[in-house]
């Protein structure tokens, strides 16, 4: 396994560009980079530019991963670059990204099922609870898109890997894989997002393990709050996710899996709204009815996990929502958004150190870029 990072959450990745970001990743002691889409490497999908990125990643001994974007046709208008890549034909745009990625050896490709809008609180922040179209209609639309792209993916030996994103459940991802085919569809396992769907991360890891081909590694605070549960991204080891149990599951299923950190984004890269509380409305009847696959056993284990974490919070071992927000963002005034470049780098290093420590304790080998270069 190798430990790297998602490019969007790498500080200054947009201003540095892909080539300099590879240097930055190497400087941080990480082993690779996960570009969300091929357009993040080259907005025009220029073959020469993509080959240069591949060559530099190889020279530095870094893994390189990519994707094709949001496949929910009901939110396509919110991602105009995907349609533009095909000259107005979004399926052609997706096809070009698959072909361009495959040409540089990126065969594991991220896809996502919707959007999360932090300006809204509770279930309406997720496309799952849109009121203009049902979630099942959206799932059906995603299946149709995946089926249209399946022949292209198969022709190149590629997998379109569905992220366990904020709005979809692991059960629904498994059904999409069954319908379209595991030979061309897999999973990007985000260790934190399933918490917003009431799923226990260990339960989800076990369900999805045979199909996990990419990852987003992150941790989160989850605690009781008015309206349900608060959710807040934390450095790995500072939240509720049990990496000591999850990482061996992932390693056993796919020893060559890349672990890509997805950390809190620097406010210098993305300004942050004041008091952006993400509420999991876990006790709301509409929310509960929208999760028919969630069993009582898993929900009980989930709430036991929340209770155990609350003990850590009350003991002072980890800060509560407000204290953590204040320390990073100057809550409640936000006049001094202190979570800039240096703080984001510290977040990355803390998370990387925790994952490396767990891997050492569990006997999981993490390959380094230095080892690959020496072997070459």
DSSP secondary structure of 167-219: T--HHHHHHHHHHH-TTTEEEEEETTGGGGGT--HHHHHHHHGGGEEEEEB-E
Query: Does 71 have pLDDT greater than 60?
Result: yes
* Residue 376, pLDDT score: 41
Query: Does 15 have pLDDT greater than 90?
Result: yes
Helix axes 201-208, 243-253, angle to 10 degrees: 0
Residue 29: CB atoms within 10 A of its CB come to 15
Question: pLDDT tier at 330 (50, 70, 90 boundaries)?
Answer: low
Q: How many CA atoms lie within 13 A of 301 on its CB side?
A: 13
pLDDT tens digits, residue range 96-110? Answer: 999 999 999 999 999
What's the average model confidence in pLDDT over 198-204? 98
The pLDDT mean for the chain works out to: 93
Query: Does 332 have pLDDT greater than 70?
Result: no
Tell me which residue of 121, 118, 114 sits closest to 229, measured CA to CA: 121
Side-by-side strand order, sheet with 63-70: 212-216, 185-190, 159-163, 108-112, 63-70, 32-34, 2-6, 258-261
Query: Does 3 have pLDDT greater than 90?
Result: yes
Residue 246: CB atoms within 10 A of its CB come to 21
Question: pLDDT tier at 374 (50, 70, 90 boundaries)?
Answer: very low
DSSP-based helix, strand, coil % in the chain, nearest 5: 50, 15, 35
Alpha-carbon span 101 to 47, nearest angstrom: 10
Domains in the chain, CATH or no CATH each: 2-217+234-263+339-375 (3.20.20.150)
Alpha-carbon span 53 to 329, nearest angstrom: 34
Query: Does 6 have pLDDT greater than 60?
Result: yes
Alpha-carbon span 124 to 122, nearest angstrom: 6
Residue 335: CB atoms within 10 A of its CB come to 7
Question: pLDDT tier at 331 (50, 70, 90 boundaries)?
Answer: very low
Which helix (H) or strand (E) covers residue 70, if one does?
strand 63-70
**Which positions ≥6 away from 333 have C-beta within 8 Å?**
274
What's the average model confidence in pLDDT over 219-227? 96
What's the average model confidence in pLDDT over 164-186? 98
* Residue 306, pLDDT score: 98
What's the average model confidence in pLDDT over 50-61? 98
pLDDT tens digits, residue range 298-327? Answer: 999 999 999 999 999 999 999 999 899 888
Residue 229 DSSP SS3 = strand
CA dihedral 244, 116, 215, 245 (to 10 degrees): 10
Which helix (H) or strand (E) covers residue 221, if one does?
strand 219-225
Alpha-carbon span 354 to 363, nearest angstrom: 14
């Amino acid at each position: 396994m190798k430990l790297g990072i998602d490019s969007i959450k790498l500080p200054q990745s947009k201003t540095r560009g892909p080539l300099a970001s590879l240097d930055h990743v190497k400087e941080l002691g990480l082993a690779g980079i996960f570009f969300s889409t091929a357009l993040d490497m080259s907005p025009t999908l220029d073959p020469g530019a993509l080959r240069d990125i591949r060559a530099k990643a190889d020279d530095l001994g870094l893994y390189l991963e990519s994707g094709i974007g949001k496949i929910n046709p009901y939110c396509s208008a919110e991602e105009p670059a995907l349609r533009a890549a095909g000259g107005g034909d979004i399926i052609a745009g997706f096809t070009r990204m698959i072909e361009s990625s495959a040409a540089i050896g990126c065969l594991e490709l991220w896809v996502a099922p919707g959007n999360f809008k932090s300006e809204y609180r509770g279930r309406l922040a997720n496309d799952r609870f849109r009121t203009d179209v049902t979630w099942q209609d959206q799932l059906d639309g995603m299946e149709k898109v995946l089926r249209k792209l399946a022949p292209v993916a198969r022709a190149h030996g590629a997998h379109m890997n569905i992220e366990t994103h904020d709005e979809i459940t692991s059960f629904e991802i498994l059904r999409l894989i069954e319908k379209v085919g595991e030979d061309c569809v897999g999973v990007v396992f985000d260790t934190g997002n399933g918490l917003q769907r009431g799923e226990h991360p260990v339960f989800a890891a076990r369900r999805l393990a045979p199909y996990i081909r990419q990852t987003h590694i992150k941790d989160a605070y989850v605690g009781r709050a008015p309206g349900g549960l608060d959710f807040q991204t934390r450095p790995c080891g500072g939240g509720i996710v049990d990496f000591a149990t999850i990482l061996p599951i992932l390693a056993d299923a796919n020893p060559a899996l890349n672990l890509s950190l997805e950390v809190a984004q620097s406010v210098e890269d993305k300004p942050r709204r004041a008091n952006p509380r993400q509420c999991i409305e876990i006790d709301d009847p509409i929310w509960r009815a929208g999760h028919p696959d969630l069993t009582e056993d898993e929900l009980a284990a989930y709430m036991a996990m929340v209770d155990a974490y609350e003990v850590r919070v009350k003991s002072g071992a980890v800060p509560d929502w407000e204290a953590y927000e204040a320390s990073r963002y100057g809550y409640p005034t936000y006049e001094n958004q202190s979570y800039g470049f240096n703080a984001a780098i510290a977040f990355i290093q803390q998370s990387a150190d925790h994952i490396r420590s767990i891997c050492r304790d569990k006997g999981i080998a993490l390959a380094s870029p230095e080892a690959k270069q020496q072997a070459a």
